[in-house]
Structure 1
């Protein structure tokens, strides 16, 4: 693509300066890469008291073992 070649062109109608500005703004926003979402901070209230690897195991006696210290 050469420097003289336009990025886009209006094929029909006579847009006003405001309409052209809105079109350029919409194209600029659309071509921008999406930002990564910010990590969500988890409060101490929402965190569990058990470590992440301590998942409950299903099976006979599991309900009894769930109350035992680890």
Structure 2
């Protein structure tokens, strides 16, 4: 039975153990699926009322 091919092969230079560990860590990190982005918190009704185009529900509409 033959040995499997190495996943990473150093073709030039002599990397230290720390350099190889950093490389392996970076490769493993890239293989992991990206975390789902959490949606931004919804603005409160008070904050939405101050936005332009808020209509009659805005604070300016409450003065009429």
Coarse TM-score class (shorter-chain normalised): 0.5 to 0.7
TM-score (norm 2): 0.58
Structure 1: tracts of 5 or more residues without a match = 49-55, 57-66
Structure 2: tracts of 5 or more residues without a match = 50-54, 56-60
Aligned length: 48
- In 1, Cα distance between equivalents of 2:23 and 2:34: 19
Deviations 1:8-50 (A, max 9, x none): 11111111000000100111111221111111111323345xx
TM-score (norm 1): 0.54
Bigger Cα displacement from structure 2, 11-20 vs 31-40: 31-40
